[in-house]
Amino acid sequence: MAVRNEAIGRQRLAARILQGLSFAARPSGHHLWLSLPSWWSRSNFVLHVLRRGLAVVASDAFEVARDTAPQAVRLSLGAARNRADLVEALQLVARTLKSRAATRHVV
Hey, what domains does the chain have and what are their CATH numbers?
2-98 (3.90.1150.10)
Q: Is the pTM of this model over 0.75?
A: yes
- CA angle 78/82/88 to nearest 5° reads 95
In this model, does residue 10 exceed pLDDT 70? Answer: yes
Q: How many angstroms separate the Cα of 37 from the Cα of each of 33, 72, 102, 105?
A: 13, 9, 13, 17
**Which residue, 8, 17, 3, 1, is CA-closest to 85?**
17
* Residue type for position 29: G
Handedness of CA 13, 94, 53, 84 (dihedral sign): negative
- What local confidence, expressed as pLDDT, does residue 102 receive? 59
In this model, does residue 75 exceed pLDDT 70? Answer: yes
**CA–CA separation, 76 and 43 (whole Å):** 17
Mean of pLDDT over the chain? 91
> What is the average pLDDT across 70-75?
93
> 107 or 37: which carries more pLDDT confidence?
37
- What local confidence, expressed as pLDDT, does residue 45 receive? 95
**CA–CA separation, 5 and 12 (whole Å):** 11
- What local confidence, expressed as pLDDT, does residue 101 receive? 61
